[in-house]
Amino acid sequence: MINYKPTYFDKVFLRRILASFLDILICLLLASIVWVVTNAIGFFTFGITKKAIPFILPVILIVYYIYSLGGRKGITFGMKLFKIDLLNNKNQSLGIKELLIYNIIFFLVTPIGAIFLISIIFPLFNSQRKCLQDYIFKTKFILMD
């Protein structure tokens, strides 16, 4: 059996994955609450509000990321819990404009990359475990321990 010792970048990558799963769970919880409330209101409005659900659910995801990444520290709840931070190539936290551009790149690259498995495979084959959007925007994640 090969004895593999995880590197610093492996630890960052693992925490990044766990933070992403937590953020997705939070968004799903918020979406479920909105879905239940919308259906309850839809009962009293004869189903009119139910037609708005496909438009409301993407807004929840966008608002969550804007609220959390647009805050003072620029990190999501998952990133805060797993103690990782996003920095630019000058080792500074990203500003509001940079976070907005980073998120636009993230939401463009990730779905396309997931379809072609690039988003999943790319970080596994580079030494720093960076994702495609990190190379495009020249950012890095660090541990806050």
Provide the pLDDT for residue 33.
92
Residue 129 placed within a domain: yes
Q: What is the pLDDT along the chain (145 residues), one digit of tens a residue?
A: 678 888 899 999 999 999 989 988 998 999 899 889 988 888 888 888 888 888 888 888 878 877 777 666 778 889 899 999 888 889 888 887 888 788 788 778 878 877 777 877 888 888 888 888 888 888 899 998 7
Does 102 reside within a domain?
Answer: yes
Domain that holds residue 123: 8-66+74-143
The predicted pLDDT at position 54 comes to 85
Query: Is position 1 within any domain?
Result: no
- How much is the pLDDT for 1? 60
| Residue 78 within a domain | yes
Does residue 89 lie within any of the structural domains? yes
Could you give the number of structural domains in the chain?
1
Domain contains 49: yes
pLDDT (0 to 100) of residue 124:
86
CA distance 64 to 15: 19
CB 25 within 8 A of CB 11: no
* Mutual angle of helices 96-115 and 53-69, in 10-degree steps: 130
Put residue 33 in one of left, alpha, beta given phi > 0 → left and psi -120 to 50 → alpha.
alpha
> Does residue 118 lie within any of the structural domains?
yes
For 74-97, the pLDDT digits (tens) are 788 898 999 998 888 898 888 878
9 token code pair: 């970048």
42 inside domain: yes
Determine the Cα–Cα distance for residues 34 and 57; give it in Å rounded to an integer.
Answer: 8
pLDDT for the residue 114? 78
